Amino acid sequence: MTDTPRRRVLVLFGGRSSEHSISCVSAAGILRALDPARYDITAVGILPDGRWVRVAADPSALDAVDGRLPIVADSGESAALLPEPVRDRAGLPAGVLQGVDVVFPVLHGPWGEDGTIQGLLEMAGIPYVGSGVFASAAAMDKGHMKAMLAHAGLPVGPWVLVTAREWSADPSECLDRISALGFPLFVKPARAGSSVGITRVADRGALEAAVREAQSWDPRIIAEAAVVGAREIECGVLADPSGVPQASRCAEIVVHPDHDFYDFEAKYLDDGAELVVPADLDPPVEDEVRRLAVRAYDVLDCEGLARVDFFVQPGRVVINEVNTMPGFTPISMYPRMWGASGVDYHELVDRLIDDALRKGTGLR
Ligand SMILES: Nc1ncnc2c1ncn2[C@@H]1O[C@H](COP(=O)(O)OP(=O)(O)O)[C@@H](O)[C@H]1O
Ligand SMILES: [Mg+2]
């Protein structure tokens, strides 16, 4: 037994996005993995309406039971972080969190994975797991992400971005611009996740309804040419102890034919998709995917971790998206890919916390 002080870890989860429940399940996994001998654990849930509450660091309250997805329960005990570096200062209002060494913001989607919480933690001077403000925001927005990757010469498919202002000024021009991609195509909210608001559009007649569906999630939308007949391959990136990104073995998502694509139901509600870890890829193809995953991480300036998703066709590898806080339940792709690469779930959580403490906050 050494006398190293226990690190005070704040696990922050739930949140205002459509991925609230997935975040709860990810947090349950992380709370189970944190060794109480090494960490002093505080859990704070963000309610769907955005209020912060302190909750017991009890993972069993956050598991999915009988297919019902968990949500943060209102404990009635408010919690807050001040946007200024306060350490063990007297006279602060009740509920203000102090003396936190590191935060694990296991939040997916807007108001969490998009640079917003990262900005608050930078202001507070508290190190946190994962990417900083810029990379989080850039990766969250599918339009900006693709523009940055394309600018760096990385392979992404053709896309069209439609802002709220462009749509309200001239919807038919927007529909023409999207249609020029050719059909089938995909229409998506620019900043969402878990496939919410995404439609595969077979012809022009179905396009406007798909645009309006995506806009109901985000006024900013993106359309992409469908990559037909491709395999969906993912790769995990994790910083090594010096902060150098390493790629995991790859995995494949095999979507069952009764689903149009890897939609919300296939992801979470039924057995609509099979995860094959590691993927059965020719070694040169897997090498290429792993190389591109690390390049994408670097181009967006990611930190700590990312999951990079690909479409792989014979002779062609295309990057679909980069997730800076990928699903983190023990059966999620990211931890499973690292499991297949010799890093188990406990070690993954420890390494991410160590990486957060190594990088600290501020310009770096
Ligand atoms: N351009 C595309 N071509 C083919 N399939 C696509 C395309 N874009 C999305 N899909 C399908 O839709 C799913 C969700 O899209 P994605 O962009 O990954 O959104 P999310 O951020 O919600 O995961 C993908 O996993 C894939 O099955
Ligand atoms: Mg995806």
Round to whole Å and give the CA distance between 253 and 332: 12
Q: Which helix (H) or strand (E) holds 112?
A: none
pLDDT at 92: 86
- Give me the residues paired with residue 280 across strands: none
Is the four-CA dihedral 213, 218, 222, 228 of positive or negative sign? negative
Q: Residue 292 gets which letter from DSSP?
A: H
Rounded distance from Cα 232 to ligand 1 centre (Å): 9
d(CA 327, CA 119): 21
> ∠74-76-78 over CA atoms, to 5°?
105
7-128, which class in CATH?
Answer: alpha beta
Residue 2 confidence (pLDDT) = 55
Q: What is the pLDDT at residue 3?
A: 63
From residue 218, how far is each of 38, 187, 192, 206, 266 by CA, in Å?
A: 41, 12, 7, 19, 22
Indicate the SS3 state at residue 51. coil
d(Cα 106, Cα 344) in Å, to the nearest integer? 18
Which stretches in the chain have pLDDT values below 70? 1-3, 270
Residue 311 CA to ligand 1 centre (angstroms): 9
Q: What architecture (CATH level 2) is domain 139-155+228-359?
A: 2-Layer Sandwich (3.30)
Name residues contacting ligand 1 (CB within 6 A).
157, 186, 188, 192-195, 198, 224, 226-227, 232, 261-262, 309, 320-321
Q: Specify the residue with its C-alpha closest to ligand 1, atom 9.
A: 186
- Which ligand places an atom closest to the C-alpha of 319? 1
Please state, in angstroms and rounded to a whole number, the distance separating the CA atoms of residues 154 and 147. Answer: 10
In angstroms, rounded to a whole number, what is the distance separating the alpha carbons of residues 311 and 97?
43
How many Å lie between the centroid of ligand 2 and the Cα of residue 321?
Answer: 6
Residue 267 gets which letter from DSSP? I
- d(CA 157, ligand 1 centre) in Å: 12
Ligand number nearest to the C-alpha of 259? 1
Question: Per-domain residue ranges for the chain?
Answer: 7-128, 139-155+228-359, 159-225
- The residue whose CA has the least distance to atom 26 of ligand 1 is 262
Residues 238-271 have pLDDT tens digits of 999 999 999 999 999 999 988 889 988 888 776 7
Domain 159-225 in the same topology as domain 139-155+228-359: no
**Best of 144, 213, 262 for a ligand 1 pocket test (most atoms within 8 Å of beta carbon):** 262
How many A from CA of 338 to the centre of ligand 2?
18
On whether the CB atoms of residues 248 and 277 are closer than 8 A, the answer is no
Nearest CA to ligand 1 atom 19: 195
Q: What is the pTM of this model?
A: 0.96
Residue 280 CA to ligand 2 centre (angstroms)? 20
Is CATH 3.30.1490.20 the classification given to domain 159-225?
Answer: yes
Instruction: Compute the distance between CA of residue 336 and CA of residue 278 in angstroms, rounded to an integer.
Output: 9
Nearest ligand, CA of residue 224? Answer: 1
Cα atoms in the 13 Å half-sphere on the side-chain side of 254: 7
Both structure tokens of 311 = 């479409």
SS3 content of the chain, % helix, strand, coil (to 5): 30, 25, 45
